[in-house]
Amino acid sequence: MSLVHRSIMTAAILGFAAPALACDPQISRVDGPVNDSYEPFSPDAATYPLNITITNRDEAACDLRAVAIGTMSGARRLIGASSRAQLGYEIFGEQAIRLPNEQAAGFGLPILIAGRQEIVLRLQVRVRPGQVVPSGIYDENVELLLLGSTGDVREQRRFPLRLRVEARAQVNLAGTAGIFSNGARSAVLDLGELKDGTANSIFIQLRANEPVRVRLLSQNKGDLINVEQPKERIPYQLVVDGTPVDMSGPADLRRSPPRSLDGASYRAVATVPVVGNRFAGEYRDLISISVEATP
Summarised one tens digit per residue, pLDDT across range 217-241 is 999 999 999 999 999 999 999 999 9
Q: Hey, which bits of 21-108 come out as E strands?
A: 25-31, 36-38, 46-56, 62-69, 77-80, 86-88, 90-92
Kindly list the strands in the beta sheet with 185-187, ordered across the sheet, starting from the edge strand earlier in the chain.
Answer: 185-187, 287-293, 212-218, 251-255
CA distance 68 to 142: 6
pLDDT band for position 162 (50/70/90)? Answer: very high
Backbone angles phi, psi at 94, to 5 degrees: -65, 150
Which amino acid would we find at residue 173?
A: L
- Tell whether the model's pLDDT for residue 4 goes beyond 50: no
Helices (H), the chain: none
CA distance 83 to 138: 9
Reported as type and span, the H/E element at residue 287 is strand 287-293
Q: Find the mean pLDDT for residues 273-294.
A: 94
Q: Find the mean pLDDT for residues 205-209.
A: 97
Q: Find the mean pLDDT for residues 119-135.
A: 98
CA distance 90 to 78: 10
pLDDT at position 176 = 54
pLDDT at position 113 = 98
Q: Find the mean pLDDT for residues 197-224.
A: 96
- Tell whether the model's pLDDT for residue 107 goes beyond 90: no
Compute the Cα dihedral for 252, 254, 257, 261 and give only its sign. Answer: positive
- Tell whether the model's pLDDT for residue 192 goes beyond 50: yes
Q: Which of 102-111, 115-124, 159-168 has the lowest mean pLDDT?
A: 102-111
Write the CA distances from 223 to 174, 241, 246, integer angstroms. 23, 20, 11
pLDDT band for position 25 (50/70/90)? Answer: very high
Cβ 101 vs Cβ 74: under 8 Å: yes
pLDDT band for position 146 (50/70/90)? Answer: very high
Write the CA distances from 283 to 5, 201, 231, 268, integer angstroms. 138, 17, 11, 19
Compute the Cα dihedral for 22, 108, 153, 159 and give only its sign. Answer: positive
The domains located in the chain, with CATH, are 25-165 (2.60.40.3480), 169-293 (2.60.40)
Q: Provide, rounded to the nearest whole percent, the portion of the chain with pLDDT above 70.
A: 91
Q: pLDDT higher for 5 or 260? A: 260
Each residue's pLDDT tens digit, 61-70: 999 999 999 9
